[in-house]
Amino acid sequence: MRTKVAIIGAGPAGMLLGQLLHAYGIDNVILERKDRDYVLARIRAGVLEQGTVGLLEKLGITERLHHEGLIHDGIELLFGGVRHRLDLKHASGGKVVTVYGQTEVTRDLMDARVKAGLTTVYDADQVSLHDFYGSSPRVRYVKDGVSHEIACDFIAGCDGFHGVSRQSVPADAVKTFERVYPFGWLGLLSDTPPVSPELIYTNHERGFALCSMRSPTRSRYYVQCALDEKVENWSDDRFWDELRSRLDPEAAEALVTGPSIEKSIAPLRSFVAEPMRFGKLFLAGDAAHIVPPTGAKGLNLAASDVHYLSQALREFYDEKSSAGIDGYSARALMRVWKAVRFSWWMTSMMHRFPDNDGFATKLQQAELDYVVHSKAATSALAENYVGLPY
């Protein structure tokens, strides 16, 4: 098989890149080691920056998003037992975010790809990358016991933190930066109405909590927990009791509980790999960087990565210019590190750390008070939350 761009990974990064390249007339093939249902079963966040929505609008893949997505122009910070609303739209100069599950974004992109008749190979086993520093990049894989090879001009690694793409790079060619946080998020998904029309971020002496949603009838809640916690030790009742204890009296009273659809614990880390280009191999999304979910930046960073990469490849094929691909890594990383900083800051401000003493707690309280009462501080949070420009 021959194509211009071989994309590794059928998550939102790979699927969005594939659709953008198709819109520019650039042939591409997507390889995914799991099946479609497995990919769509992954439970992920769903706060979309305006820039991410804009990319989907550009592709004409927003009919369901605009029908089912929830536009949010504010969030609430809860600390000291009191909620404070931040008007993101006003503070950011008119920008908003849209709550729409990452799974639904991936489903919409998959459906659009099928409709366009583009090639996606699921259950691609033993994927390996070859000669991406040379003149003839190739990707090999096994499907149904038969070996296959794809010859291509470029390879896009969109296969996540544990994928083969970054692992294929020589160790001395990549530098990594990492911060592992000493806690995780225990998350619960339920078919219950959200406790609030907007997200509530909570700083509490028992730990962080987040009240989020997927729709007017489906809620997503999180509580900070120890890294050695086990999901099986958390009954639904125990979770609801713990969440209620971290909310203000009004929210605790209004909380509607019910059986969980999904329950899981996610560790928190910040991770960046530099550079994001290795010859004719490019990394995008979680293959290159991970951020804690506090700032809602994971999917949105993947979107900005593939925006830069698709533009660079369009320039290469249409304008015969390599300037875009030569500058891809530096351009993407400038935005990545700003999002890493914001996610680290939000995480540091909202969570209880094991070594939190009275001094650290007082600093958090002062920071939160400053954020909600200073126009400049509110604007800085809002600007980053709704998404920095591409």
- Residues with catalytic roles: 72, 201, 293, 297, 385
Q: How many residues does the chain have?
A: 390
* CA 157/CA 161 separation, integer angstroms: 10
* CA 138/CA 122 separation, integer angstroms: 18
Token digits for 34?
Answer: 């799991």
First-to-final CA distance of the chain = 34
| Amino acid identity at 273 | A
| Amino acid identity at 115 | K
Q: Which residue has the tokens 């979107």?
A: 303
* CA 335/CA 102 separation, integer angstroms: 21
The answer to whether 185 touches 224, Cβ cutoff 8 Å, is yes
DSSP letters, 174-226, are: -EEEEEEEEEEEEEEEESS--SSSS-EEEE-TT--EEEEEEETTEEEEEEEE-
Phi first, then psi, for residue 287 (nearest 5°) are: -65, -25
Instruction: Report which DSSP code applies to 81.
Output: T
Residues ≥6 apart with Cβ < 8 Å to 144: 123
Query: Which of 39, 22, 23, 20 shows the shortest CA–CA distance to 31?
Result: 39
Neighbours of 321 (CB within 10 A): 13
